[in-house]
Amino acid sequence: MACPFNNTESVPLNPAILALDWLLGTWECDEPGEGCFPSIKPFHYTETLHFSHVGQPVINFMFNAFHAESKKPLHRECGFIRMQPGTNRVAFIIAENSGLVEIEEGELTGQQLNLQSQSLSRISFAKEPHVQQVCRVFQLRPDGKLEQTVSMATDNQPLTQHLHITYRRSS
């Protein structure tokens, strides 16, 4: 089952998420992103991000990553973004195709989101080593490009940068 994305222009944006309107739309990477971690071979990937809304105080999202050379599907994430009313506090609720479910919380400062995992759950047969912490930063740069950096810690590795990629808005 796919996460549906409605035309965001057909429904007014809920005022509770107005501060996040700069995320809305589809974003595609300009150049392949870089992935690395001490326990894996470095790799390059492409990714498309979709941020939409249906008038609720929530942004829906879907992230789809592919291996840059083989074009094989890699990481997929689907979920929701909420803001705590009257604050700059933001929460991402994320389900991943790896079997990991996360709640990341953080703050919105201008057009930058700084998030860190608050809760991680996984399927009982998830591949080891298990992810223990995730930190994510989204930033809308002055040139209009969106940049994402993801760091993670596992059972046997401290918090280390894992992914870095830049996107351009395609819709």
Q: Is 140 buried (19+), middle (13-18) or exposed (0-12) by CB count in 10 A?
A: middle
Is-above-0.85 flag for pTM?
yes
- Find where tokens 């990991």 sit: 100
* pLDDT band per the 50, 70, 90 thresholds, residue 10: confident
CATH of 15-169, one of 2.60.40.10, 1.10.3720.10, 3.30.930.10, 2.40.128.20: 2.40.128.20
> What pLDDT, on a 0 to 100 scale, did the predictor assign at position 165?
98
pLDDT at 48 over 80: yes
pLDDT digits (tens, 9 = 90+) for 61-110: 999 999 999 999 999 999 999 999 999 999 999 999 999 999 999 999 99
> What pLDDT, on a 0 to 100 scale, did the predictor assign at position 3?
47
Any idea where the domains of the chain sit in the sequence?
Answer: 15-169
CB-based contact 50:61 (threshold 8 Å): yes
pLDDT at 148 over 50: yes
The DSSP code sequence of 87-156 is SSEEEEEEEETTSEEEEEEEEEETTEEEEEEEEEEE-TTPPSSPEEEEEEEEEE-TTS-EEEEEEEEETT
Which residues are registered as beta bridge partners of 45? Answer: 33, 67
pLDDT digits (tens, 9 = 90+) for 50-71: 999 999 999 999 999 999 999 9
